[in-house]
């Protein structure tokens, strides 16, 4: 087989890249080791930046997003027995976030690619990339070979693409946090209209949602905690302890549909390219979920890569491809800093550190009383505008 762009991974990054390339008349093949049912049901991020929404709508896959997504004009920071709203409509007029599950984005993109006759292959075994440092890279899977001009590694943190780059080529930055997130999906009407980020001496909690009938919650737990230690009754009791801290607020409870523990870490690989292999999304970087940046960074990467590939296939120019990593990493490091800032602002780092708690409270007071500080949070949360590179 032959194609212009071989894409490894059918997550949001790989599927959106294939879709955007199709709009530009550039053919691609997407290879995914999981089944279609698995990737369409995989629960991940749910907060879309303004730029992500605009990208999906402009590319023709935003109809259901606009119909079913939940636009939010603010978030609440809850601490010290009070809630404080960060008002996006005032601080960053015209920019907001939309709550719409990553799995729904994936469903929309798969439907669009298949409707357009796109080549998306699921349950592909033994994927390997070859000759990435030459002008003729190729991909093997099963007993087949795919020749291509460029390979896009959109296969996540544990994928095959990044480890295929020669040892010593990449510089990897990593930070592991001393806690994790226990996340649940519950069949219960959300107890608030907007996301609540709660800081307590018991640890952090987040109240989110996926639809008018489905709620999403997170609890800060120990890094080595195990899901078996968290029966449903304990989860709801702890969520109530951390969220029912303001007068008049009662947390609605119900059936827990899904439950899991996610480690908290940051990771960046530099550069995000080697030869004809270009990394995008989680294959190149991981951010703590506190800042809601993972999916949105993947979309930003793909926008940059699409423009670079379009220029390359149009007239053979390589300037944008050569600059791909630099252009992406500028936004990546900004998002990493924001995610680190939100994480350290809201989580209990050391339960015995009264000094640290006083510093957190002081900074929260500043963010919730200073318009300048609140604007910094708001403009980073809704997503910084795209530059000319993407």
| 293, 312, 324, 347: the active-site residue | 293
Residue 226 appears among annotated catalytic residues:
no
- The confidence score (pLDDT) of residue 387 equals 77
Q: What is the largest CA-CA distance in the chain?
A: 65
Evaluate whether residue 119 is within a structural domain: yes
| 197, 218, 274, 324: the active-site residue | 197
- Count of positions (residues) in the chain: 390
Read off the pLDDT of residues 32-62 as tens digits, 9 standing for 90 and up.
999 999 999 887 778 999 999 999 999 999 9
- The confidence score (pLDDT) of residue 352 equals 78
Rounded to the nearest integer, the mean pLDDT of the chain is: 96
- Distances from the Cα of 52 to the Cαs of 123, 271, 319, 332, in angstroms? 28, 24, 25, 15
- Domain count along the chain: 1
Average pLDDT, integer, range 270-289: 97
pTM more than 0.75: yes
Average pLDDT, integer, range 369-377: 98
Return the higher-pLDDT residue of 41 and 273. 273
- The confidence score (pLDDT) of residue 91 equals 98
| 218, 274, 312, 381: the active-site residue | 381
| 12, 19, 72, 312: the active-site residue | 72
- The confidence score (pLDDT) of residue 337 equals 96
Residue 337 appears among annotated catalytic residues:
no
Evaluate whether residue 211 is within a structural domain: no
Give the integer Cα–Cα distance in Å for 99 and 251. 20
- The confidence score (pLDDT) of residue 248 equals 95
- The confidence score (pLDDT) of residue 351 equals 75
- The confidence score (pLDDT) of residue 388 equals 54
| 19, 100, 289, 324: the active-site residue | 289
Evaluate whether residue 15 is within a structural domain: yes
Contacts of residue 144, Cβ cutoff 8 Å, sequence gap at least 6: 1
Evaluate whether residue 269 is within a structural domain: yes
Read off the pLDDT of residues 190-211 as tens digits, 9 standing for 90 and up.
999 999 999 999 999 999 999 9
Q: Is 119 in contact with 110 (CB distance < 8 Å)? A: no
Could you list the residue range(s) of the whole structural domain that residue 160 is in?
A: 5-71+97-173+265-347
Average pLDDT, integer, range 256-268: 95
Residue 324 appears among annotated catalytic residues:
no
Read off the pLDDT of residues 60-118 as tens digits, 9 standing for 90 and up.
999 999 999 999 999 999 999 999 999 999 999 999 999 999 999 999 999 999 999 99
Give the integer Cα–Cα distance in Å for 344 and 369. 19
- pLDDT above 90: residue 313: yes
Residue 381 appears among annotated catalytic residues:
yes
- pLDDT above 90: residue 2: yes
Evaluate whether residue 182 is within a structural domain: no
Average pLDDT, integer, range 367-390: 90
Evaluate whether residue 369 is within a structural domain: no
DSSP string, 69-133: -EEESEEEEEETTEEEEEEHHHHSTT--EEE--HHHHHHHHHHHHHHTT-EEE-S--S-EEE-TT
- The confidence score (pLDDT) of residue 349 equals 86
Residue 376 exposed, middle or buried by CB count within 10 Å (0-12, 13-18, 19+): middle
Residue 289 appears among annotated catalytic residues:
yes
Structure-token match 């951010």, residue found: 287
Band of residue 270 on the pLDDT scale cut at 50, 70, 90 = very high
CATH code at position 293: 3.50.50.60
Evaluate whether residue 179 is within a structural domain: no
Evaluate whether residue 184 is within a structural domain: no
Average pLDDT, integer, range 347-363: 90
């Amino acid at each position: 087989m032959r194609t212009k762009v071989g894409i490894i991974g059918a997550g949001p990054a790989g599927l959106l890249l294939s879709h955007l390339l199709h709009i530009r008349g550039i053919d691609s093949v997407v290879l995914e080791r999981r089944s279609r049912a698995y990737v369409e049901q995989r629960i991940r991020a749910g907060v879309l930046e303004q730029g992500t929404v605009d990208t999906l709508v402009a590319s023709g896959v935003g109809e259901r997003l606009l119909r079913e997504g939940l636009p939010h004009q603010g978030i609440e920071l809850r601490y010290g027995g009070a809630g404080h709203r960060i008002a996006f409509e005032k601080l960053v007029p015209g920019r907001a976030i939309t709550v719409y599950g990553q799995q729904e984005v994936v469903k929309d993109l798969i439907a669009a690619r298949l409707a357009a006759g796109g080549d998306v292959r699921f349950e592909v075994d033994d994927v390997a990339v070859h000759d990435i440092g030459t002008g003729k890279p190729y991909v093997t899977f099963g007993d087949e070979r795919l020749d291509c001009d460029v390979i896009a590694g959109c296969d996540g943190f544990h994928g095959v693409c990044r480890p295929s780059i020669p040892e010593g080529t990449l510089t990897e930055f990593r930070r592991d946090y001393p806690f994790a997130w226990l996340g649940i999906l519950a069949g219960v009407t959300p107890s608030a209209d907007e996301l609540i980020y709660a800081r307590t001496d018991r640890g952090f909690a987040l109240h989110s949602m996926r639809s008018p009938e489905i709620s999403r919650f997170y609890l800060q737990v120990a890094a080595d905690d195990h899901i078996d230690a968290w029966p449903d009754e304990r989860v709801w009791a702890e969520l109530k302890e951390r969220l029912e801290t303001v007068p008049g607020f009662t947390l609605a409870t119900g059936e827990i549909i899904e439950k899991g523990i996610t480690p908290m870490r940051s990771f960046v690989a530099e550069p995000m390219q080697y030869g004809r292999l270009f990394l995008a999304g989680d294959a190149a970087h991981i951010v703590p979920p506190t800042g809601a940046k993972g999916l949105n960074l993947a979309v930003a990467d793909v926008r940059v890569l699409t423009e670079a590939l379009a220029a390359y296939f149009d007239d053979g120019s390589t300037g944008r491809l050569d600059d791909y990593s630099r252009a992406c990493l500028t936004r990546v490091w900004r998002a990493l800093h924001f995610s680190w800032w939100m994480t350290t602002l809201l989580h209990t780092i050391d339960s015995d550190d009264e000094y640290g708690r006083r510093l957190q409270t002081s900074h929260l007071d500043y963010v919730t009383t200073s318009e300048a500080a609140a604007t910094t949070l708001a403009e980073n949360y809704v997503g910084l505008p795209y530059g000319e590179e993407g």
